[in-house]
Amino acid sequence: MMKKISTFLFLVLSLFFYSCDKQQKFEFKGNALGTTYSVNYYSTQHKNFKSDFDSIFNVINASMSTYLKDSRISRLNDGAKLPLDEHFKNVFSTSKEIYKATEGYFDPSIGILVNAYGFGPVETNMQLTQKNIDSVLQYVGLEKFELKQNKLIKSPEHFFLDFNAIAKGYTVDVLAEYLEGKGISDYFVELGGEIVASGINVSQQQPWKFGIEKPIDENNNRELSYAITLNKKALATSGNYRKFRIDSLTGKKFVHTINSKTGLAEKSNVLSASVLAEDCMTADAYATALMAMGFDKAKSILEKQGISALLIYVGANNVIKSYITPDIEELIIEL
């Protein structure tokens, strides 16, 4: 009799510990920072962190959203002198580093041009003549800004900082860091196409895989060129094939990526840039810069800075080609 009781207790305890150790999948989707997000993670804690994610979105919006009039960055752009929060300082410091590394092609101070082209939160009604663009360019250049004693010091009288090309990636990093702090190692976080993934997709017992779209103009046509596997890595992709505006008066097409050197919102021969990095804000910023500079310059910067990337570009005779840095070839799956 005692033997049967012991066997029964052993089975009950085994089932109990198995149920405690079994990872449960959590999946959340929604809207944040003017785009959509998706978070998947596996946890034995059986705890829903959605309200914590929402809090993170709110804090970062309050720091860096140019669409909120009372955010810290909006008030700074309006001329207020304010102490800086940690999120702002983190993004600004990394922006300065990448500004130098990309020889100025990544430049959040082009916010004044973003507005002029109709992609930002402020309507300027400025006629996009070369003369007007040149007059605005005098206020562009991140070398004119610095941090001192927790304050933003700037030399131009008029400026408009816009961290849109790095803030989404930074937010993904913050969410990933939060999950890591909770002891979660199998997850992916995606915000507006910027991604951090860790561990594996437990349900499938496979690495996380993500597709890279073909750079096709038609808005409803979403085809994939490649897939890539990720673990403890960040991926950001930038392209102009769906981000453009048609001027209602001239019919001219302006793409979302603005060349900080010329002030022009015109396509380079790089159709899309996908960057793999240790953190998503770095990947996000480089992907934007590579789009603006054209293939030859982009390749040179990648080699000089040791950045991992996949570029889809227009080569000789208008042939679409791909360039993949050697260090990530084994992670890329051609479809």
The alpha carbon of residue 1 and the mean position of all alpha carbons in its chain are separated, in whole angstroms, by 64
The set of residues, in sequence order, having a beta carbon less than 8 Å from that of 99 and lying 6+ positions away, is: 106, 107, 108, 142, 143
Phi-psi region of 68 (alpha: psi -120 to 50; beta: other; left: phi over 0): beta
The alpha carbon of residue 191 and the mean position of all alpha carbons in its chain are separated, in whole angstroms, by 7
Q: Are 284 and 174 in contact (CB under 8 A)?
A: no
| Nearest alpha-carbon partner for 295 in 312, 309, 274 | 312
d(CA 40, CA 150): 36
Question: In this structure, is the dihedral angle defined by the CA atoms of residues 161, 163, 164 and 165, taken in order, positive or negative?
Answer: positive
Q: Are 192 and 33 in contact (CB under 8 A)?
A: yes
As a CATH number, domain 23-334 is 3.10.520.10
pLDDT at res. 6: 45
- pTM beyond 0.75, yes or no: yes
Q: Are 60 and 171 in contact (CB under 8 A)?
A: yes
Q: Where are the domains of the chain?
A: 23-334
Q: Is the pLDDT of residue 251 over 50?
A: no
- pLDDT tier, 256 (very low <50, low <70, confident <90, very high otherwise): low
**Residues 96-123 pLDDT 10s:** 999 999 999 999 999 988 888 887 787 7
d(CA 92, CA 22): 41
pLDDT at res. 38: 96
**Residues 144-189 pLDDT 10s:** 999 998 999 988 778 999 999 999 999 999 999 999 999 999 999 9
The alpha carbon of residue 301 and the mean position of all alpha carbons in its chain are separated, in whole angstroms, by 19
> Tokens at residue 301, please?
């910067």
d(CA 237, CA 202): 25
pLDDT at res. 19: 39
pLDDT at res. 231: 94
The residue with greater pLDDT, 46 or 329, is 329
| Nearest alpha-carbon partner for 192 in 177, 170, 214 | 170
Beta strands 206-213 and 224-230, pairing class: antiparallel
d(CA 241, CA 97): 28
- pLDDT tier, 221 (very low <50, low <70, confident <90, very high otherwise): low
| Nearest alpha-carbon partner for 200 in 7, 21, 23, 30 | 23
Across-strand partners of 314?
Answer: 320
| Nearest alpha-carbon partner for 185 in 235, 236, 234, 231 | 231
Q: Count H helices, E strands: the chain?
A: 9, 16
Q: Is the pLDDT of residue 130 over 60?
A: yes
pLDDT average, residue stretch 203-230: 78
In the three-class reduction of DSSP (H, G, I as helix; E, B as strand; rest coil), residue 179 is classed as helix
Q: What is the CA radius of gyration of the chain?
A: 23
d(CA 119, CA 112): 10
- pLDDT tier, 240 (very low <50, low <70, confident <90, very high otherwise): low
Beta strands 320-324 and 308-314, pairing class: antiparallel
pLDDT at res. 254: 45
Q: Is the pLDDT of residue 13 over 50?
A: no
Q: Is the pLDDT of residue 247 over 60?
A: no
